[in-house]
Amino acid sequence: MTAPFEFKQSVILLKSTGKKARTLAELRDLIATISEGSIFHHTYQYFLKGHILEYTNDFSHWAGESIEESVLAERLSNLDPYDYADIAQLRKELLRIIDAFRATFPEPREALPRDEFFFNEAVTLVFPAGIRARNLAEFLMAVKHVDASSLYYHFYDSRIRQGGEKNDFSQWFEQELGKIGLAGKIHSVDPFMHSLEGIRDRIAQAVEEEVTQDMESAGIMP
Protein backbone atom coordinates (compact mmCIF):
# COMPACT_ATOMS: atom_id res chain seq x y z
CA MET A 1 0.00 0.00 0.00
CA THR A 2 1.25 3.47 -0.89
CA ALA A 3 2.22 5.60 2.09
CA PRO A 4 0.81 9.10 1.65
CA PHE A 5 3.08 12.12 1.35
CA GLU A 6 2.74 14.15 4.54
CA PHE A 7 3.57 17.78 3.92
CA LYS A 8 5.50 19.41 6.71
CA GLN A 9 6.73 22.94 6.93
CA SER A 10 9.41 24.73 8.81
CA VAL A 11 9.98 28.15 10.27
CA ILE A 12 13.25 29.50 11.50
CA LEU A 13 13.83 31.57 14.57
CA LEU A 14 16.94 33.65 14.14
CA LYS A 15 19.62 33.81 16.84
CA SER A 16 22.58 36.15 17.04
CA THR A 17 25.98 34.71 17.86
CA GLY A 18 27.15 38.20 18.82
CA LYS A 19 30.10 37.83 16.42
CA LYS A 20 30.73 40.12 13.47
CA ALA A 21 33.42 40.65 10.85
CA ARG A 22 34.44 44.03 9.49
CA THR A 23 37.18 42.79 7.17
CA LEU A 24 37.72 39.77 4.99
CA ALA A 25 40.47 38.63 7.34
CA GLU A 26 38.03 38.76 10.27
CA LEU A 27 35.41 36.94 8.23
CA ARG A 28 37.91 34.21 7.44
CA ASP A 29 38.93 33.77 11.06
CA LEU A 30 35.37 33.66 12.25
CA ILE A 31 34.33 31.16 9.57
CA ALA A 32 37.15 28.98 10.92
CA THR A 33 35.78 29.02 14.46
CA ILE A 34 32.06 29.86 14.36
CA SER A 35 29.48 27.21 15.26
CA GLU A 36 28.41 24.69 12.63
CA GLY A 37 24.89 26.03 13.10
CA SER A 38 26.01 29.43 11.90
CA ILE A 39 27.73 28.09 8.78
CA PHE A 40 24.60 26.05 8.10
CA HIS A 41 22.37 29.09 8.44
CA HIS A 42 24.40 31.32 6.14
CA THR A 43 24.67 28.72 3.38
CA TYR A 44 21.83 26.18 3.30
CA GLN A 45 19.19 28.43 4.81
CA TYR A 46 19.92 31.26 2.35
CA PHE A 47 17.24 29.72 0.14
CA LEU A 48 14.60 30.45 2.75
CA LYS A 49 14.86 34.13 1.87
CA GLY A 50 12.85 33.26 -1.18
CA HIS A 51 14.58 35.76 -3.48
CA ILE A 52 17.07 34.82 -6.08
CA LEU A 53 19.61 37.56 -6.48
CA GLU A 54 23.13 37.30 -7.79
CA TYR A 55 24.26 35.28 -4.81
CA THR A 56 23.65 31.84 -3.38
CA ASN A 57 24.78 32.30 0.21
CA ASP A 58 25.23 35.11 2.75
CA PHE A 59 29.03 35.07 2.47
CA SER A 60 28.97 35.76 -1.27
CA HIS A 61 26.27 38.36 -0.74
CA TRP A 62 28.45 40.21 1.77
CA ALA A 63 31.55 39.93 -0.44
CA GLY A 64 29.65 41.40 -3.39
CA GLU A 65 27.61 44.07 -1.64
CA SER A 66 29.48 45.11 1.48
CA ILE A 67 33.15 44.91 0.53
CA GLU A 68 32.48 45.00 -3.21
CA GLU A 69 34.78 42.15 -4.21
CA SER A 70 33.05 40.73 -7.27
CA VAL A 71 35.56 37.98 -7.95
CA LEU A 72 35.28 36.61 -4.45
CA ALA A 73 31.48 36.94 -4.56
CA GLU A 74 31.34 34.98 -7.81
CA ARG A 75 33.59 32.24 -6.48
CA LEU A 76 31.62 31.92 -3.26
CA SER A 77 28.35 31.89 -5.22
CA ASN A 78 29.51 28.87 -7.16
CA LEU A 79 29.90 26.87 -3.99
CA ASP A 80 27.31 24.09 -3.80
CA PRO A 81 26.76 23.23 -0.13
CA TYR A 82 25.12 19.94 -1.11
CA ASP A 83 28.46 18.73 -2.49
CA TYR A 84 29.82 18.31 1.03
CA ALA A 85 29.10 15.46 3.38
CA ASP A 86 29.19 17.64 6.46
CA ILE A 87 29.64 21.20 7.70
CA ALA A 88 33.32 20.58 8.51
CA GLN A 89 34.03 19.99 4.82
CA LEU A 90 31.91 22.93 3.74
CA ARG A 91 33.75 25.15 6.22
CA LYS A 92 37.07 23.93 4.78
CA GLU A 93 35.97 24.82 1.26
CA LEU A 94 34.82 28.30 2.32
CA LEU A 95 38.23 28.89 3.88
CA ARG A 96 40.01 27.55 0.80
CA ILE A 97 38.13 29.96 -1.49
CA ILE A 98 38.83 32.95 0.77
CA ASP A 99 42.50 32.01 1.26
CA ALA A 100 43.01 31.58 -2.48
CA PHE A 101 41.48 34.99 -3.10
CA ARG A 102 43.61 36.67 -0.45
CA ALA A 103 46.75 35.07 -1.88
CA THR A 104 46.09 36.62 -5.28
CA PHE A 105 44.33 39.93 -4.70
CA PRO A 106 45.05 42.95 -2.51
CA GLU A 107 43.25 43.02 0.81
CA PRO A 108 39.73 44.45 0.28
CA ARG A 109 38.45 47.52 2.07
CA GLU A 110 36.69 47.29 5.41
CA ALA A 111 32.92 47.14 5.43
CA LEU A 112 31.28 50.38 6.52
CA PRO A 113 30.08 50.53 10.12
CA ARG A 114 26.84 48.55 10.53
CA ASP A 115 27.48 46.78 7.27
CA GLU A 116 29.71 44.19 8.89
CA PHE A 117 28.98 40.49 8.47
CA PHE A 118 26.82 39.48 11.42
CA PHE A 119 27.06 35.78 12.22
CA ASN A 120 23.66 34.35 13.06
CA GLU A 121 22.30 30.88 13.58
CA ALA A 122 18.77 29.56 13.74
CA VAL A 123 16.41 27.28 15.57
CA THR A 124 14.19 25.43 13.09
CA LEU A 125 10.63 24.63 14.10
CA VAL A 126 9.10 21.82 12.08
CA PHE A 127 5.40 21.07 12.09
CA PRO A 128 2.87 19.19 9.94
CA ALA A 129 1.13 21.35 7.36
CA GLY A 130 -2.02 19.27 7.78
CA ILE A 131 -1.98 18.24 4.11
CA ARG A 132 -1.38 14.76 2.77
CA ALA A 133 -1.36 13.37 -0.76
CA ARG A 134 -2.20 9.76 -1.53
CA ASN A 135 -1.50 9.91 -5.26
CA LEU A 136 0.06 12.10 -7.89
CA ALA A 137 -3.13 14.04 -8.65
CA GLU A 138 -3.57 14.93 -4.98
CA PHE A 139 0.09 15.83 -4.79
CA LEU A 140 -0.34 18.22 -7.71
CA MET A 141 -3.21 20.01 -6.00
CA ALA A 142 -1.29 20.22 -2.75
CA VAL A 143 2.01 21.42 -4.14
CA LYS A 144 0.29 24.33 -5.86
CA HIS A 145 -1.07 25.59 -2.56
CA VAL A 146 1.26 24.61 0.28
CA ASP A 147 3.21 27.30 2.08
CA ALA A 148 6.57 28.19 0.50
CA SER A 149 8.28 27.07 3.72
CA SER A 150 6.94 23.60 3.03
CA LEU A 151 8.70 23.60 -0.34
CA TYR A 152 11.88 24.69 1.40
CA TYR A 153 11.57 21.88 3.94
CA HIS A 154 10.98 19.12 1.38
CA PHE A 155 13.07 20.38 -1.55
CA TYR A 156 16.10 21.98 0.14
CA ASP A 157 16.28 20.99 3.79
CA SER A 158 15.64 17.33 3.03
CA ARG A 159 18.85 17.12 0.99
CA ILE A 160 20.79 17.63 4.18
CA ARG A 161 18.67 15.14 6.09
CA GLN A 162 19.20 12.67 3.26
CA GLY A 163 22.89 13.29 2.78
CA GLY A 164 22.52 15.43 -0.36
CA GLU A 165 21.26 12.50 -2.37
CA LYS A 166 17.56 13.07 -2.53
CA ASN A 167 14.82 15.52 -1.80
CA ASP A 168 11.67 14.29 -0.07
CA PHE A 169 9.51 14.69 -3.17
CA SER A 170 11.80 12.61 -5.38
CA GLN A 171 12.13 10.02 -2.65
CA TRP A 172 8.36 9.61 -2.45
CA PHE A 173 7.87 9.54 -6.22
CA GLU A 174 10.47 6.83 -6.51
CA GLN A 175 9.80 4.70 -3.47
CA GLU A 176 6.04 4.92 -3.16
CA LEU A 177 4.90 5.53 -6.73
CA GLY A 178 7.74 3.89 -8.67
CA LYS A 179 8.14 7.07 -10.71
CA ILE A 180 11.88 7.03 -11.20
CA GLY A 181 11.83 9.39 -14.18
CA LEU A 182 9.78 12.01 -12.35
CA ALA A 183 11.97 11.66 -9.27
CA GLY A 184 15.05 12.36 -11.39
CA LYS A 185 13.39 15.27 -13.16
CA ILE A 186 12.51 16.97 -9.87
CA HIS A 187 15.91 16.29 -8.39
CA SER A 188 17.61 17.85 -11.37
CA VAL A 189 15.85 21.22 -10.94
CA ASP A 190 18.71 23.59 -10.17
CA PRO A 191 18.17 24.61 -6.53
CA PHE A 192 20.25 27.76 -6.95
CA MET A 193 18.52 29.33 -9.91
CA HIS A 194 14.95 29.69 -8.75
CA SER A 195 13.00 31.34 -5.99
CA LEU A 196 10.80 29.08 -3.89
CA GLU A 197 7.88 30.10 -6.10
CA GLY A 198 9.96 29.21 -9.15
CA ILE A 199 10.63 25.79 -7.63
CA ARG A 200 6.91 25.37 -7.00
CA ASP A 201 6.13 26.14 -10.67
CA ARG A 202 8.70 23.65 -11.93
CA ILE A 203 7.56 20.85 -9.65
CA ALA A 204 3.92 21.49 -10.49
CA GLN A 205 4.69 21.52 -14.22
CA ALA A 206 6.64 18.24 -14.11
CA VAL A 207 3.96 16.52 -12.02
CA GLU A 208 1.18 17.82 -14.24
CA GLU A 209 2.91 16.38 -17.29
CA GLU A 210 3.25 13.05 -15.52
CA VAL A 211 -0.42 13.03 -14.50
CA THR A 212 -1.46 13.85 -18.06
CA GLN A 213 0.73 11.04 -19.41
CA ASP A 214 -0.74 8.60 -16.90
CA MET A 215 -4.26 9.57 -17.91
CA GLU A 216 -3.43 9.21 -21.58
CA SER A 217 -1.87 5.79 -20.96
CA ALA A 218 -4.93 4.71 -19.03
CA GLY A 219 -7.11 5.86 -21.90
CA ILE A 220 -8.82 8.47 -19.75
CA MET A 221 -7.74 11.28 -22.06
CA PRO A 222 -7.82 11.08 -25.85
Partner 1 sequence: MMDEYKGIAPKGDLLLLRKLGGVFAGKSFLHVNSTREGGGVAEILHRAIPIMESLGIKVRWEVLTGDAKFFDITKKIHNALQGHPEAFTPDMWAYHEEINRKSTLDLGADCVYIHDPQPAPLVQRREGGTWVWRCHIDVSAPQKDVWQSLKLFCERYDGAVFSIAKFARSMPLPEFIIPPSIDPVSDKNRELSGREIRDSMDKLQVPLDRPMLLQVSRFDRFKDPIGVINAYRLVKKYNDCILVLAGSPATDDPEGAAVLNEVKEYASGDPDITILLLPPFSDREINALQRAATVVLQKSLKEGFGLTVSEAMWKEKPVLGGAVGGIPLQIVHGLTGFLVHSSEGAAFRIRQLLNNPAMAKRLGERGKEHVRANFLITREVRDYLSTWYSLVNPNKNILEL
Binding residues for partner 1, rule: CB under 8 A, are 9, 11, 13-20, 37, 50-51, 53, 114, 116, 118, 120-127, 129-130, 147-150
Distance in Å, CB of 68 to partner 1, minimum = 14
Distance in Å, CB of 39 to partner 1, minimum = 12
Distance in Å, CB of 30 to partner 1, minimum = 13
- The one-letter amino acid code at 131 reads I
Please give the span between the terminal C-alpha atoms of the chain, in angstroms, as a whole number: 29
Burial of 204 (0-12, 13-18, 19+ CB in 10 A): middle
For 195, phi then psi, to 5°, come to -75, 170
Q: Give Cα 171 to chain centroid, integer Å.
A: 17
> What's the count of helices (H) and strands (E) in the chain, helices before strands?
11, 2
Judged by beta carbon, residue 122 or residue 183, the one nearer partner 1 is 122
Judged by beta carbon, residue 51 or residue 96, the one nearer partner 1 is 51
What is residue 178's DSSP assignment? -
Distance in Å, CB of 54 to partner 1, minimum = 10
Distance in Å, CB of 195 to partner 1, minimum = 10
Judged by beta carbon, residue 18 or residue 106, the one nearer partner 1 is 18
Q: Which helix (H) or strand (E) holds 58?
A: helix 58-65
Judged by beta carbon, residue 160 or residue 211, the one nearer partner 1 is 160
Instruction: Write the CB contacts of 118 (distance below 8 Å, at least 6 apart in sequence).
Output: 16, 19, 20
Judged by beta carbon, residue 40 or residue 139, the one nearer partner 1 is 40
